[in-house]
Amino acid sequence: MKRIDDEFSFQVRELTDQMEGILGDPPDRKNYNNMVTALLTEYKKEVIVEDVNLLSFALVDHLKYNKPAGLLASAKKYEATEPAKVAAMVSGSSPEYDALLASLFENYPALARKAVVVAFLKENPGMWLGQEAAPEEEEEENEDELDEDEGPTDHIADLFDEAQDPHEQ
């Protein structure tokens, strides 16, 4: 049985890619902090962009996870209907962020729940990632076995047979 819903896994990968993209190479922490500040400013003005990853991005560095096991259990269903339970398992890093969280959970409960769970999963990959990645590694190993040079497979050969080269007519 999977520990988390596939959609949460997808959202965490997307969040990680967004964060790495903003940081850049070499990492530009100032650019990253400017992005987080801009997002938080918008959310504080109650200008809500209903995007799970943007909200997760804005909150991830400002959350305290009070009940990790409960948050992990909440990740089993992406479309769960109990945001109040998640709200009780997390707090902000300051009273200002506590107020923001309370406002988000009051006005956008489903979005806030998803964003908090995604942020939690992003910050705690060891709690779920090993189990989620195991089947993919097995599939990759099987693909490697098939990559041995045994000539073209029927599938590849059929691709070339179907398309006729105009020069061969």
Residue 123 CA to its chain's centroid (Å): 11
User: Whole-model pTM?
Assistant: 0.72
DSSP 149: S
The 10 Å Cβ neighbour count of residue 60 is 19
46's torsion region: left (phi>0), alpha (psi -120 to 50) or beta? left
71 token code pair: 């948050």
Measured between alpha carbons, how far is 11 from 70 in angstroms, rounded to an integer? Answer: 19
pLDDT by residue, tens only, the chain of 169 residues: 467 899 999 999 999 999 998 888 887 889 888 988 888 888 888 777 788 999 999 999 999 999 999 999 999 999 987 899 999 999 999 998 999 999 999 999 999 999 999 999 999 988 887 654 444 434 444 444 444 555 555 555 555 555 555 555 5
Per-residue pLDDT, 80: 80
